[in-house]
Structure 1
Amino acid sequence: MNTSKFVITLALMGFTLTGCSGAKDSKSDRMPEQSQQQAESPIPDSAEPSAEEQADSHPAMPVHGKQKHETVRVFYGTDRNLTGSTQPKEFFGAERASLSLGFCDVSIPQNHREGKLESPKIWKLEFRENPDKHVVLKSVEPASGPEFLTSLRDTIQNSIEVEQTPAGEVSRGGEAFVFIHGYNNSFEDAARRTAQIAYDLKFKGAPLMYSWPSKAKGTLWAYKEDARTAQWCEENVTLFIEAIAHESGARKIHLIAHSMGNRVLSRALKKISQKLAGSDKTQPLFNEVILTAPDIDAQVFKDSIAPHIVQTANRFTIYSSSDDLALKASRVINSFWHQRLGEGGSYLTVFPKFKQINVVDASDIDTNLFALGHSYHADNVSVLGDVKQVFQGIPVNDRGLRSLLENLAWKFQSKRSLLGRAFRGTFR
C-alpha cells in the first residue's frame, strides 16, 4: 500500500465502513462518516495551539518551570461514537461508530511510581484530578488521515537515536506499539494505560492505541455485549494495524492486547494472515505480539487461530496466571470446561508446534487484588521489565525466567522461591 492510497483510505474510512459488519454506502456525494464526526467535534480546526500547548504535546517531555508532570502523546484509532462533550474523559462514548483517528495527551506526574495509574484519593482529600499528581487524560484531538500520518511519522522519526559502537553505527528508537484494551474499559481508561505503559517502558517511538466501544459498565450484560462488539470491530482493527505496519515508517512495530482485546487482535491478525497467504510477501508485518491475560477460549486459539497468525509476526509472547480472578469468572460465564488462554498453573496452554510462541506463567508474582489479579501486564514491575526485554528482542531463555515443561513455557522467579533457594544454599 503506497502513501497516497493509505491517506485516501484513512480519509474515506467512515465512508466505506458503517461498522465492521455494516454495508458499504455507494453514494459518493455523501460526506464521509469520519468527516461528519469531526464536524461535530467542539474543537475548531483553525484553532492554533499556544506555545505552552506545543511544548507539552510530545512523549516524555522534560519538566519546565513550575510544571511537575510530563506529557505523553498517544495516537488513537477508535470506532466509538462522539458524544459532543468538550471534556476529554467524555469525548467518546460506548456506542459503535465509524473509524476515526486522532491524538490525545496524558499527564504523568513527576512522582509517578512504575506500574501505577495515579488517581485522586478521597483519603488524601483529593477530589479533583491534578496532572502534577495524577495520570490524567488532558486532551483529545481528532485528526484527518493526512494529519494523523504526518504527526505519527514525525514522532517516530524524531525518536531515532544513532549510537557509535565498535561495530559501527547502531540505530535505536524509531519504533511503534499499538495497545488494544479489554472488557470494561472506556476511551479514557485505554489512553491512560497506554501512556503509562509507554512511560514506564521508556519507549522510544510512538505509542498508539485502538479503543473499541466497550461498555465499561462491569455487568454480565455488558460482558456479553462487549464480546459481540469485539467481533464486530474486526474490519476496523485490521485496517488500522495494517495501515500502521505499511505506512508509519517505524523500524519495528509491536502489538499488545489485554484480556478481551486479544479476541479483537486475534481476529485481525487472522484476517491479515489470509491476505499474506495470497501474496508473495514473506516478511512478517510485526515484530513482537504480546497477548496479556487473554480472555479467549484456549482450545479455539490453539487449534483455529495460532496456526494462521504465527506468520504475521516474528514472535508471540503469552502472559498467563493462575491467580487471575477475572479469567476464572470468565471461564464460569463461558461454561466451566472452556478454559481461557490466560489461565496459568495447571491450566497453562503451551504450543510445542510453534517455537515462535513463548508462554510465560506469571502466577507467582504479586498482583493487585483490587484489579482481580488481571492487570499485571501493566501494574507489576517484574512483568513490565520482561515486556521491555521482549521489545528489545531478548530471547526468553535470557530474561531470568525459569523453564517449565522442557522449555515449552517459562515462569517468573517469585520472591518466595528466590529467598527459599538462597536459604537452602546456606546449608549445603
Structure 2
Amino acid sequence: MRSTARRVLVRAQVLTLGLLVLAGCAGGPQGVLTPLRVDPAAFGASRIDMLVATTRQAVDDPAFLYGGERGPNLSLLDMEISIPPDANRKIGEVQWPKRLPPNPARDFTTLLANPMSAHQSRTWLNENLTPSRNVLIFVHGFNNRFEDSVYRFAQIVHDSGADVTPILFTWPSRASVFGYNYDKESTNYSRDALETLFREVAKDPRVREVTVMAHSMGTWLAVESLRQMAIRDGRIAAKIHNVILASPDIDIDVFRQQWIQFGERKPHFTIFVSTDDKALAVSRILAGNSRLGAVNPAEEPYKSEFEKAGIDVVDLTGQGGSDYLNHSRFAESPEVVQLIGRRLINGQTVTDSHVGVGEAIGAVAIGATQAVGQTASAAISLPIAVVDPTTRRNLGDQFDAAVDSTAGTLEAARP
C-alpha cells in the first residue's frame, strides 16, 4: 500500500514538473551573451550597466559565460545590456532574440561582458554610483540560467526606473525543474559569498544605502546571508535599509527563527505574496510546510505577526498576468515593478498617508488597502483586460486545471 502511494506520488511529481517545464519554456536561441559591438542609441535603445557577481563555474563558450555548476571562487563581471525602445516592447517582458545576432531595436542585446578583479569592481562601483548613491543588489530564484538572471535583472532595473546602481548576484542553478534539490544546496553553497558582497558594498564610504531584492528560492539565500552577517557582526550592516522578498520560497517557521536572529536593528522588509502561486504550492507539497510567499496576510497568526514585526506585505493574489504559475508578478506587472522603483527601493511604504488611490503605481489602486499598522495587504486593482477570465488564453486555463488536479493528487498520495 505504501509503495503504491509512493509510485503515485513520484508520478504526480513528474507530471507537475513537466507542467512547469511547459509553462516556463521560452522560444528563441540560447547563448545570447556574446557582445554585439553597436551603439544602442542608434536603435533608440537604452543601456543598463551592471556589476555581476557569481558563484557559478565559468564555461569556455562566450555565448554562455557561466553554466549551472559551482565555481570555486566568486567571479565578477562588468556587463552592459541594451533594452529595446519602449515603443517596441511591453513593460515587464524580456524580449529574447528570435535569431542571432540580435536586433537592438526589438531584442535584448548584450553589449559588454568584461571580467573584473575585486579591485576593479570597487572602482566600477564608485564610477557608476548614481546621484542617489543607492545600490540595488538582486538575487534571482530557482531554475535560472546565467543569461536568464542577467536579462531579467536588466528588465527590472529599466522598467522600475529606479535611481540605483545595479548589482546582480547569480548563484549556480542547473536551470531545470528537476534540479530543485541541487539548486537549494547551491544557495547554501553561496551564502558566504553573498554575505561578503553585502559587507563590501555596505562598507564603501561613497555608498549611501543598499536595497536587497530577491525572488523565490533566492530569498532563502538572501535571508540566510543577512542572518549570517547579523550573527557574525552583531547586526546587519546599517546601510542595508530595505529588503524586498518577492514570492519567497522559505518555510514560514524557519523565517520566524531567522527574523529573531537578525537582532534588534533590522532593515525594513517588504514581502510580495500570492496565495494562488502555483510554484510555491508545489514547493509546499514537496517540502511539507507552508511557504512565506503563499501565506494569506489577512489571516491570523500572520496578520498580527507581520504587524508586530513592522513588515509591509503586498498581496498580489488574483492579479493575473502572463506567468501561469503566478510566481513572477513582481517583475512582469508594469504597475508592480514601477511601484518597486518609485517607492520601495527608496524606503517608502505603500500605504502611508501621503499616497492616494492610484498614486503609488499609476493605473492601479493601492491606497485603499487592508492596512493594519505597518502591514499592507494590498488589494491592487489591475485593468479589467488583464483580470477578466474571458481575456485569458486557453492554454492558461488548461494549465490551471492541470496543476490544481496534480496538487490534489499529491496531497492524496502523501503518507
Relative to the length of structure 1, the TM-score reads 0.71
> 1:130 corresponds to which letter in structure 2?
N
The residue matched to 2:104 in structure 1 has which SS? coil
2:377 corresponds, among 406, 410, 419, to 410
Aligned: 1:358 with 2:325: no
- How many angstroms does 1:289 deviate by? 0.5
Residues 181, 257 of structure 1: 8 Å contact kept: yes
2:323 corresponds, among 359, 363, 369, to 369
2:141 corresponds, among 162, 166, 182, to 182
- How many angstroms does 1:201 deviate by? 1.6
Distance 1:315 1:292 in 2: 14
> 1:334 corresponds to which letter in structure 2?
A
- How many angstroms does 1:131 deviate by? 2.3
| Counterpart position of 1:345 | 296
| Counterpart position of 1:143 | 116
Aligned: 1:238 with 2:161: no
> 2:312 corresponds to which letter in structure 1?
N
| Counterpart position of 2:261 | 308
The residue matched to 2:203 in structure 1 has which SS? helix
Cα RMSD after superposing both structures: 2.7
Output aligned runs, 1:75-90, within 5 Å. Answer: 75-87=51-63, 90=64
> 1:83 corresponds to which letter in structure 2?
V
> 1:305 corresponds to which letter in structure 2?
Q
Distance 2:177 2:76 in 1: 26
Residues 339, 347 of structure 1: 8 Å contact kept: no
Distance 1:334 1:381 in 2: 32
| Counterpart position of 2:162 | 203
Gaps of at least 5 residues in structure 1 are: 1-42, 44-48, 57-62, 161-172, 418-428
> 2:94 corresponds to which letter in structure 1?
L
Distance 1:201 1:210 in 2: 18
Distance of aligned partners of 1:105 and 1:415 in 2 relative to their CA distance in 1, 3 Å threshold: closer
2:69 corresponds, among 89, 95, 116, to 95
| Counterpart position of 1:26 | none
> 1:218 corresponds to which letter in structure 2?
V
| Counterpart position of 2:337 | 384
- Deviations along 1:191-241, one digit per CA (max 9) or x if unpaired, are 11111111112222311110000110122xx00111111112111111111
Residues 71, 105 of structure 1: 8 Å contact kept: yes
Identity value in percent: 26
- How many angstroms does 1:312 deviate by? 5.9
Gaps of at least 5 residues in structure 2 are: 1-33, 353-359, 361-365, 385-415
- How many angstroms does 1:189 deviate by? 0.8
Distance 1:333 1:364 in 2: 23
Residues 137, 191 of structure 1: 8 Å contact kept: no
Residues 226, 236 of structure 2: 8 Å contact kept: no
| Counterpart position of 1:225 | 182
Distance of aligned partners of 1:178 and 1:68 in 2 relative to their CA distance in 1, 3 Å threshold: same
Distance 1:73 1:186 in 2: 19
Structure with larger RCO (C-alpha < 8 A, sep 6+): 2
- Deviations along 1:260-293, one digit per CA (max 9) or x if unpaired, are 001101110001111332xxx7972311100000
Distance of aligned partners of 1:257 and 1:228 in 2 relative to their CA distance in 1, 3 Å threshold: same
> 1:226 corresponds to which letter in structure 2?
D
The residue matched to 1:397 in structure 2 has which SS? coil
Equivalent residue pairs, number:
331
- How many angstroms does 1:412 deviate by? 3.0
- Deviations along 1:37-89, one digit per CA (max 9) or x if unpaired, are xxxxxx9xxxxx99x77xx6xxxxxx63x3332221110110111111122xx
Distance of aligned partners of 1:347 and 1:214 in 2 relative to their CA distance in 1, 3 Å threshold: farther
The residue matched to 2:267 in structure 1 has which SS? strand
Distance 2:297 2:265 in 1: 29
Residues 370, 379 of structure 2: 8 Å contact kept: no
Aligned: 1:319 with 2:286: no
- How many angstroms does 1:353 deviate by? 6.3
Output aligned runs, 1:106-117, within 5 Å. Answer: 106-110=81-85, 111-117=88-94
2:287 corresponds, among 313, 334, 340, to 334
Residues 317, 359 of structure 1: 8 Å contact kept: yes
The residue matched to 1:142 in structure 2 has which SS? strand
